[in-house]
Amino acid sequence: MLTVGAALTSAARRMGSKDALIFGQERLSFRELERQANQFARALQSVGIGRGDRVGLLLPNGLEMARAYFGIAKAGAVGVPLNLRWAAPEIAYALVDAGVSLLLADPEFRPLISQLDVVDIPVFFSGEGGDWTRLYEAQEPSALLEVAVKETDPWVLVYTSGTTGRPKGAVRNHIGNLMIALTLVSEMGIHSEQTGFAILPMFHVNSMWFVTLSVAIGATCVIYPQRAFHPRHIIEQMNEHRVNYSMFVPSLLTFLADAVEAGVVLPDALEVIMTSSAPLSGSIRDRILKGFPRSRLYDIYGATEYGAATILRHRLGGALGSVGYPTMGLDLLILDERRQPVPDGTVGEVFAKGMSVISEYWKRPEVNLENFTPDGYLTVGDLGYQNGDGMLCLVDRKQDMIVVAGENVYPTEVEDVLLRSSSVALAAVFGVPDERRGERVVAAVVAKQNETVQGDELTDLCRRFLADYKRPHRIEVVAELPLGPAGKVVRRLAREQFLAAWSNPEPRPEP
C-alpha cells in the first residue's frame, strides 16, 4: 500500500539503525522512528482519536513534529499543521473550521492558546513533563498496531488562502503526498545514500514533503533546528552534515551564493539544489551554478493543492521565462474563460490533474464546483501558456499574491483587517520588490469622509489579527485608489502608482 505509514515501515526494514532524522544533537534511526510513530499512534487511540479524526499541530521543527506526522499516518487520523506565526484568531479559525478533535502544542504556545476561544477542543502539551509526553510514554512500545488505512484516505488538511475569502483546507491524501516524493526522486536523481536538509518550517508543505521524501527512500534528513533563518548557521549545518540536496526559496539562494563566493561553504557536497515559491533571477541562477559546479539546480512550480506541477533544470546562461515541463503523471490544461482549451502560446488559466493533486477543499462545495472541472482538473488561479514544446510559461502567479521569503500573503486577508478600522473607506494591499525577502507587503488606504486615519491603530489591528510576515511594512494614506468598472480597487494599478511615486519622490524644499 502506498500510505505514509507503510512507507516508513518499509524504510525501517531496509535501513534499520541508519540515521533517519538529525535535529541538532538528536539523532533518530529508521527503526526507532518506526517504533515511535507506532507509539504515537497508540497514544492517539488511547484518547479516542481514530481514522479520519483531525489533530491540530502547533509544533516547531523537531523530532516531535516528525513523530506526529508519521504517528497520525499510522493511526489513520488527519494532521492539521498550524503556521507558528499565525495570530490567535487565525489559529482559532483553522481549528474550528477543521473540526479538530485534539490540539497538540509545544509548551511555548501556552500564552497564545489561552487567547483561543475554542474551549471544546482538548489541548495536550508536548515536552518534558507535558501531559502528551506522559500519555505517549505510557504506551507499550512493542504492542501491535493494526489500523486499516487506505491510500486515498486523507493524511493532512493544510490551510491555504485564496485571493478572496478566508483560508481553505486543502485535503491531501496518502498516495498524493507519496507521489510528490516519488516524482521528485525520479526527476532529480535523489537516492538513499545522500543526506537531505529540510530548512523550511515543518508546518509548510515544502518541508512536509521533503521529510516524507527522505524517509520513504531511506535517505538521512537533517531538520533545521532554528525557528528563524540564520544564514550563517544554515551554512554551518550544511558543512557539518555534508548536505547533498535541499530546498531553498530564492531569498535564501542569495545567501548561499554569497557564502560560496566567500569560501565559507563546501561546494563539492551539494548535488541537488531545489527552489520554488518565486521566480529565480538569471543573476542568482548563474552565481549558484558557477559556485556549485557539481550541482543540478531545479526550479519547481507548484502549490499546496498541486504538489510539484512542473520542473525546470536550470542551465548556466539559459533562457528564463518558463517553469518547465509537467512532472511525471501530471497533466496540464490551459483553458479560457469558458473552460475551453486554448492553442499553444495563448494565455489562459492553468489547470492540473494527477495523483498528487488534492481531492477537495474541506467543507467548500461551492469552491470545489468553481475550481474543479467535471473531469477532475483543478485551478489555483494562475495564468499562463504552453509553448510549442509543452513547457509552461506563467504570466501571473495567483493574481495579486505576495511572496515574502517563501511565505504566501494574500491581499484580501490583509485588506479585511485594515477595513476593520472605522476610519478606513478603501484599502489596497500589494507587494513591492525586496532584495532579501523577495517582496514586502505595502498597504494604501483611503480615509472615510470627515475621518482621519491613525497609523498606530492600523498597526495594532494588523499585529492583533495577522502573522508578522503578513503585516504591511508600510501603510500609505492616499486621497484615492484606482477603481475598476465594478467599483473594486485595482491592486495592480495601485501598486504601479506607489512604485512610480516611490522611485520619483516629490522634491522637498531645502532647509
Q: Is 67 a member of any domain? A: no
Residue 298 carries which side chain, given as an amino acid letter? Y
Dist CA 2 CA 180 (whole Å): 12
Q: Is 477 a member of any domain? A: yes
- Residue % of the chain over a pLDDT of 70: 95
Strands of the sheet with 307-313, listed across from one edge: 26-29, 19-23, 220-223, 195-198, 245-248, 272-275, 296-303, 307-313, 325-326
Q: Is 480 a member of any domain? A: yes
Higher per-residue confidence, 136 vs 165: 136
Higher per-residue confidence, 371 vs 508: 371
Rg (CA), the chain: 23
- Reported as a single tens digit per residue, the pLDDT across 172-196 is 999 999 999 888 899 999 999 999 9
The pLDDT of 467-484, averaged and rounded, is: 90
Q: Is 446 a member of any domain? A: yes
pLDDT for 386 equals 94
Exposure class string for 445-470: b at 16+ Cβ within 10 A, else e? bbbeeeeebeeeebeebbeebbbebb
Nearest partner of 294 among 261, 271, 318, 262, judged by Cα: 271
Dist CA 295 CA 310 (whole Å): 19
The pLDDT of 313-321, averaged and rounded, is: 87
Local confidence band at 92 (pLDDT 50, 70, 90 cut-offs): very high
Higher per-residue confidence, 409 vs 392: 392
Q: Is 440 a member of any domain? A: yes
Q: Assign 359 to helix, strand or coil.
A: coil
Count of domains forming the chain: 1
H-helix segments, 218-335: 231-241, 250-261, 282-291
Q: Is 410 a member of any domain? A: yes
Local confidence band at 401 (pLDDT 50, 70, 90 cut-offs): confident
Domain extent at residue 449:
402-503
Residue 409's domain is classified under what CATH number?
3.30.300.30
Task: Tell me, rounded to whole angstroms, the distance of Cα 418 from its chain centroid.
Answer: 25
Local confidence band at 488 (pLDDT 50, 70, 90 cut-offs): low
- Residue % of the chain over a pLDDT of 90: 68
Most confident of 161-165, 218-222, 248-252: 218-222
Residue that has been written with the C-alpha cell 475621518 in this structure:
451
Asked whether 207 and 198 are in contact (CB, 8 A), the reply is yes
Local confidence band at 279 (pLDDT 50, 70, 90 cut-offs): low
pLDDT for 85 equals 85
Local confidence band at 485 (pLDDT 50, 70, 90 cut-offs): very low
Query: At residue 277, does pLDDT exceed 80?
Result: no
pLDDT for 509 equals 41
pLDDT for 367 equals 93
H-helix segments, 372-467: 411-418, 455-465
pLDDT for 510 equals 40
Q: Is 313 a member of any domain? A: no
Q: Assign 324 to helix, strand or coil.
A: strand
- Reported as a single tens digit per residue, the pLDDT across 61-77 is 999 999 999 999 999 99
Q: How many CB atoms lie within 10 A of CB 321?
A: 9
pLDDT for 290 equals 96
Exposure class string for 31-70: b at 16+ Cβ within 10 A, else e? bbbbebbbbbbbbbbeeebeeebbbbbbbbbbbbbbbbbb
Query: At residue 415, does pLDDT exceed 90?
Result: no
pLDDT for 150 equals 96
Dist CA 76 CA 72 (whole Å): 6
Enumerate the β-bridge partners of residue 424. Answer: 447
pLDDT for 507 equals 47
Name the packing angle between helices 63-75 and 205-217 (round to 10°): 80
Q: Is 465 a member of any domain? A: yes
Query: At residue 227, does pLDDT exceed 80?
Result: no
Dist CA 65 CA 67 (whole Å): 5
Asked whether 154 and 173 are in contact (CB, 8 A), the reply is yes
Local confidence band at 165 (pLDDT 50, 70, 90 cut-offs): low
The pLDDT of 251-263, averaged and rounded, is: 88
Local confidence band at 144 (pLDDT 50, 70, 90 cut-offs): low
pLDDT for 221 equals 98
